[in-house]
Amino acid sequence: MSDPLSADKLRQFTGTENWYRHAINRKVLFTDGVKYVAEYGGAFWLLDEIALIQRHDKRVSAEVFQVWKLKVGADRSAELVCEDGNDNIVYSKTLQYTDFPGEGITLWFTDNTILLPSEY
């Protein structure tokens, strides 16, 4: 089976037909592409990280446009970073372990919506 989270597969998501509301932070929505990533990457926890920090870190929530990068190391540890869109780090978190497949992913957050870059 081909990698369900390959760049080619994810580029197929352009726009969205459905909007999904985050279960805990009800102000946050996410797109079809992000739902796909969460389902096939076992990454609903990643959506939680992005949605919940909006309530608890004013530096993050002050950014109108956020670039979230999950970088997975060979030892399966990871770094989750939020940038302001100009490569300035606003927030980062080290994860001791993740089962997220591959080397990571980039998601965007704007207008209270988590989306794939191709869906912007």
Tell me if 17 is assigned to some domain: no
CATH of residue 33: 3.10.450.150
Tell me if 110 is assigned to some domain: yes
Q: Nearest CA to 28 among 57, 49, 12?
A: 49
Render pLDDT for 60-80 as a digit per residue (tens, 0 to 9): 999 999 999 999 999 999 999
Tell me if 19 is assigned to some domain: no
Q: Nearest CA to 53 among 45, 62, 44, 61?
A: 61
Q: Distance (Å, rounded) from C-alpha 18 to C-alpha 25?
A: 18
Q: Domains in the chain: how many in total?
A: 1
Render pLDDT for 24-72 as a digit per residue (tens, 0 to 9): 999 999 999 999 999 999 999 999 999 999 999 999 999 999 999 999 9
pTM of the predicted model, to two decimals? 0.95
Tell me if 71 is assigned to some domain: yes
Tell me if 9 is assigned to some domain: no
Burial state string for 51-63 with b = 16 or more CB within 10 A and e = fewer than 16: bebbeeeeebeeb
Q: Domain of residue 74: give its range.
A: 25-119
Tell me if 20 is assigned to some domain: no
